Structure 1
């Protein structure tokens, strides 16, 4: 009896651990906001696999819904041996095959398994999946006497359909991709950004790519404002492209951003779908481009090797004087 109880505790520990992994994976793909998170997942990771447009929108929501569904079902006692655990092992196996292909091709960047919240290389994610698969095999073999299993298919179907439906209700797909396509068509002039700011190719300008609630973006915006105050007439006019991370125009967020940095500049707010292809698919916030007659002279992005450097920017600006 004591051994059986121990096995039950072990099995429960495995189920809770793997369920938590799936919840973390699903939530991470919606970080820091559902619109931004899922848009990034679609553009950077599904787009990188050649999956785009409406199919990417549908697939992203189904994958996240499936992760939530499996997490819930792992904690319920229905068809664990024949359906839930084997399906979970199978899904992890499919993901691992894809990740091994990435490892074999030499890819070492973030695989997107935990979105942008927890960057993981394909190899790290494979190891994580192998550990999870190994743990899930134990309740089907060594500790099968500690696994409660009821044969009722209705809860599985109900939870699966409900979660899938919720993904589409709570995370609307938004507009189609015509806005992004229009931007691509209009590129190729003196500056690809003239579609947003008509004067961007006239003289010298600073073009910033910000998310209005990003702390690093706010710090960079404040640093630029301080530069303009310290070197009046030297620092170029600032133009800002904001990403609409909340999906409603981000008016309140943008107002708070300008209040924090102590100045207001000409700006445009772009939908996640339009913003990602022109910046966030390849670069990280914050982004600052110094343009001279539409030509890029220096570009800062992210918070690591190429982060914003006021001294480097000043040095580059002074070259034109």
Structure 2
């Protein structure tokens, strides 16, 4: 009977660890997955972009470390691993309650990235079940009992926590200032009724604007549009503009995925689009009275840097 109980506890610890590792994997298996996790934090928790970048990596690393130690049933004599896992789930649960109250229940909380879509209420139920099972582990399971684990466990924990920061270093936020190489952007196609629909409703040759040239079917372009949409939510005065191109069949999926209807746009004829910016997308220009002053990739696009540039 004792052997059966111990075997069940070992298997339960492995299953809980696998859940934590899977949760980390859904957020960290590639850079776009990590970005979406960051943007969920920015959009729904209201944190700054830099804090979201740090938080996404920190919590992802915690899940990796806790999941790995649970799988190997290596808890430490004071069982700090299951206790810390419970604390982490309580923090996540407080965040889910905040989401539910402020945003509603009809959203994907991002707990399992885009692999398993979960509402805040569903994820709360999942957390309650996990906490209950971790309490069983903390109360009844001894785990591995070796003196040397007192020193090895914390070291392994710290190394695993650092992995997201090692594999996904936080990108530089500085735009590529063109300085002497700045050039006049030919905006005429955006006002030509035979090439663009609708004709640009904004006078882009006046003042400062950040224009993103996006292909409707390009996944990185959709990421750029999503990021700019969130920035626009946080600061509606940002002078963003999209120039899009692609088949009409991609229009609806593009707007559904990016939710970027808060950014004005023009759909440009394909040849005119490539004549303006070439065949590598997305292209994001910072223009001042029609002249391109800077260019940036969407990964390095930084709201604070844009706001500083606007008041220069």
State the TM bucket, normalised to the shorter chain: 0.5 to 0.7
For residue 157 of structure 1, report the CA deviation from its aligned partner: 1.9
Is 1:160 matched up with 2:157? Answer: yes
Matched ranges for 1:185-264 at <5 A? 198-199=187-188, 201-203=190-192, 204-205=195-196, 208-212=215-219, 237-238=269-270
Cα separation, partners in 2 of 1:172 and 1:88, compared to 1, 3 Å: same
Task: Give unmatched runs, 5+ long, in structure 2.
Answer: 178-183, 198-213, 222-244, 251-266, 284-296, 304-312
Is 1:95 matched up with 2:86? Answer: no
1:58 is aligned to 54
Q: TM-score when scaled to structure 1?
A: 0.58
- The counterpart of 1:268, out of the listed 257, 276, 281, is 281
2:44 is aligned to 48
For residue 223 of structure 1, report the CA deviation from its aligned partner: 7.2
Are 1:78 and 1:153, in contact at CA under 8 Å, matched by a contact in 2?
no
Partners of 1:37 and 1:16 lie apart in 2 by 25
Partners of 1:199 and 1:36 lie apart in 2 by 34
For residue 87 of structure 1, report the CA deviation from its aligned partner: 0.7
Is 1:104 matched up with 2:136? Answer: no
Are 2:246 and 2:270, in contact at CA under 8 Å, matched by a contact in 1?
no
Deviations 1:259-295 (A, max 9, x none): xxxxx97553353436798xxxxxxxxxxxxxxxxxx
Cα separation, partners in 2 of 1:239 and 1:66, compared to 1, 3 Å: farther
Cα separation, partners in 2 of 1:124 and 1:200, compared to 1, 3 Å: farther
Is 1:128 matched up with 2:126? Answer: yes
Matched ranges for 1:134-145 at <5 A? 134-141=132-139, 143-144=140-141
